[in-house]
């Protein structure tokens, strides 16, 4: 990720129309999504922790775990990558280190949230938030820490579920004043609540579309009409992948083979092309193989 691509995303957010950022959770999903020409991709914390560590999104991944994922994804992506950084992985000095690390790794934007540590997935119960003043300070540190002004700070509040919508909006307004470039009011529970958020906040807004989560999944036109600028779909591809794999493994268990399988499969030749085998074959033609 270079400065030009960060500038491209920042400029796109100022243009008309909803910016769509599908979720990516490993290098296969990253490489595939990168072929579609989206304006941005979203490195989902839920999916990345699940695929990389096999653990729930509950504050168990470390800064080093996630920085490693950001580094390899951003280095390969041609599309601006928005990266989830949970609560910043510690106190204010840790948060400064996280912002600088994610920026150096090539992310186009970093998402920070106001949950207590350890955080939890935003569409689960039991989330608690830190005092608003503490999050304001975290955002101020994040803004000061970045080297490139085009590296965007996304401020997320999880206050809706535990403290109500009015408090969530009040926090988001304060986070905007602290310098956040994009606001993320997590898990509104109806279209009317989403409308209130859009009417109350003027900073670009994130809509988090989680299928069967706490927020209704709406169309592109509906989200635009409600005032949202960036729509992330963090787990859609992951849910589809797990469903397909479940059916494949079930077939192995019942039939003992993939012969006559009913699950649609990606073409193997296309997969080799997606993963870059053509470059390997061309290299071997030029230089031969090691004996």
Tell me the pLDDT band of 15, cut-offs 50, 70 and 90: very high
- Can you give the residue range of the structural domain that contains 97? 3-241
Distance CA(109)–CA(103), nearest Å, equals: 8
What average pLDDT score do residues 243-252 get?
96
Task: Identify the pLDDT of residue 5.
Answer: 86
Q: Among 35-39, 115-119, 239-243, which stretch is predicted with the lowest mean pLDDT?
A: 115-119
Do residues 29 and 52 touch, judged by C-beta distance below 8 A? no
Question: Has residue 36 been placed in a domain?
Answer: yes
222-231 per-position pLDDT tens digit: 999 999 999 9
Structure tokens at 207: 């809509």
pLDDT of 159 > 60? The answer is: yes
Report the predicted TM-score, pTM, of the whole model to 2 decimal places: 0.93
198-237 per-position pLDDT tens digit: 999 999 999 999 998 899 999 999 999 999 999 999 999 9
pLDDT of 176 > 90? The answer is: yes
Do residues 59 and 86 touch, judged by C-beta distance below 8 A? yes
Question: Has residue 262 been placed in a domain?
Answer: no
Tell me the pLDDT band of 118, cut-offs 50, 70 and 90: confident
What CATH number has the domain bearing residue 210? 3.20.20.60
What average pLDDT score do residues 56-73 get?
93
Burial of 111 (0-12, 13-18, 19+ CB in 10 A): buried
Task: Identify the pLDDT of residue 124.
Answer: 67
Q: From its phi and psi, is residue 2 left (phi > 0), alpha (psi between -120 and 50) or beta? A: beta
DSSP annotation of 212: T
Distance CA(129)–CA(11), nearest Å, equals: 32
Number of domains in the chain: 1
pLDDT of 1 > 60? The answer is: no
Question: Has residue 254 been placed in a domain?
Answer: no
Question: Has residue 11 been placed in a domain?
Answer: yes
36-59 per-position pLDDT tens digit: 999 999 999 999 999 999 999 888
Question: Has residue 218 been placed in a domain?
Answer: yes
Question: Has residue 268 been placed in a domain?
Answer: no
- The 10 Å Cβ neighbour count of residue 78 is 12
Question: Has residue 86 been placed in a domain?
Answer: yes
Question: Has residue 274 been placed in a domain?
Answer: no
Task: Identify the pLDDT of residue 141.
Answer: 98
Angle made by CA atoms 18, 143, 65, in degrees to the nearest 5: 80
Of all residues in the chain, the percent with pLDDT exceeding 70 is 97
pLDDT of 123 > 90? The answer is: no
Task: State the chain's mean pLDDT as an integer.
Answer: 94
């Amino acid at each position: 990720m270079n400065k030009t691509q960060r500038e491209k995303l920042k400029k796109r957010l100022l243009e008309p129309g909803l910016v769509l950022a599908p979720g990516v959770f490993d290098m296969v999903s990253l490489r595939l999504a990168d072929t579609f020409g989206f304006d941005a991709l979203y490195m989902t914390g839920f999916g990345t922790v699940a695929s990389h560590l096999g653990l729930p999104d509950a504050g168990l991944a470390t800064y080093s775990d996630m920085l490693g994922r950001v580094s390899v994804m951003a280095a390969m992506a041609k599309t601006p990558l928005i990266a989830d950084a949970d609560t910043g992985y510690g106190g204010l000095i840790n948060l400064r280190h996280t912002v600088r690390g994610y920026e150096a790794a090539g992310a186009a934007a970093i998402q920070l949230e106001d949950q207590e540590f350890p955080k939890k997935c935003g569409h689960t119960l039991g989330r608690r938030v830190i005092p608003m003043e503490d999050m304001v300070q975290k955002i101020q540190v994040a803004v000061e820490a970045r080297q490139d002004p085009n590296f965007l700070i996304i401020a997320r509040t999880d206050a809706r579920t535990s403290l109500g919508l009015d408090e969530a909006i009040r926090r988001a307004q304060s986070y905007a004043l602290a310098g956040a470039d994009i606001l993320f009011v997590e898990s509104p529970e109806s279209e009317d609540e989403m409308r209130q958020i859009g009417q109350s906040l003027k900073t670009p807004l994130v809509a988090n579309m989680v299928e069967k989560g706490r927020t209704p999944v709406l169309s592109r036109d509906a989200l635009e009409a409600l005032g949202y600028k960036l729509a992330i779909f963090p787990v859609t591809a992951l849910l589809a992948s797990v469903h397909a794999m479940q059916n494949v493994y079930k077939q192995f268990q019942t039939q003992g083979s993939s012969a006559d399988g009913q699950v649609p499969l990606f073409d193997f030749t296309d997969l080799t092309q997606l993963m870059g085998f053509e470059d390997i074959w061309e290299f071997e033609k030029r230089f031969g193989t090691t004996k």
